[in-house]
Amino acid sequence: MSTATTPVRKPLGARVVDVVLALLAHVAVGASWVLVAASVMGSLDVARRMVMNSEFAWDTGRLPQPWMILVGLAAAFVSHVFFTWAMRRAGNGRRAWGARVVAWAGVFLGVALGAYLWTPALQVGAQVGPASGESTPWGILGWAAHHARLVVPALVGAWTALLVLVSRHSPLVVVSRWVWGWWRGRRSRRSSSLASA
C-alpha cells in the first residue's frame, strides 16, 4: 500500500496569477539591473570625457546620476527576493531557473543604453584643451575611451549570449531540456506501444 501523495493541481485562476507574478518578477529584475548598469555607464562617461576631451565636469548628461547606483542595487535586491518568491510559487515550491540570466540581460540593456547615450568626443583623435585652439593627440587611453562605446557593450553582450545559451539558469536552456525530455518520452512510449502490438 503506497502512501505517496500526488501534488494538488491549482485552479486555473491561481495558475494565471502565478504566471503573471513570475513575469512581473522577470521584468523587475531586468529593469533594476538596467538602472544599475546605466548609472555606472553615466559615471564612466565622466572619466571617458576627461580622457578624450581634457575636461572635467561631473555631468552624466542624459544618463542617471551616480547616486542612482545605490537605488538600483536596492531595487535589484528587492526584485531578486520577489523573483525567488514568485518562481517558487509558480513552481509549487521549486524554481525552474534563477534570476542570473535575466539580471545579465538587464545589465546588457543598461550598458548598451549607456554607451549609446555617452557624450561623443569633441574632436576624434585630439584632446581639445580648455583654451581655444589648444589640442594634443590622443594616447592609448584616449583611443580606448573612444572605442569603449562599441567594445564594452560587445563584451557584455557576448557574455550574456553565452549565459542564455548554456547556463542552467537560462529560461531557454530549461525549456529546451523540457521539450527534449518530452519528445524522448513521447518517442519511447510510441516505440514501446508499437513493440507490444
Cα–Cα distance, 182 to 29 (Å, whole number): 30
Alpha-carbon distance values, 155 to 44, 81, 159, 161, 166 (Å): 16, 28, 6, 10, 17
Residue 193 is predicted with a pLDDT of: 72
36 contacts 107 by C-beta, under 8 angstroms: yes
Q: Which of 61, 17, 27 is nearest to 42 (CA)?
A: 61
Alpha-carbon distance values, 50 to 54, 117, 127, 138 (Å): 5, 16, 9, 12
Mean pLDDT by 10 residues, the chain (197 residues): 62 89 96 97 89 75 87 98 94 85 97 94 83 81 95 98 92 87 82 70
Contacts of 66 (CB under 8 A, 6+ apart): 39, 42, 43, 60
Supply the pTM of this predicted model.
0.83
Buried b (16+ CB within 10 A) or exposed e, 28-40: bbbbbbbbbbbbb
Q: Which of 75, 72, 97, 74 is nearest to 84 (CA)?
A: 97
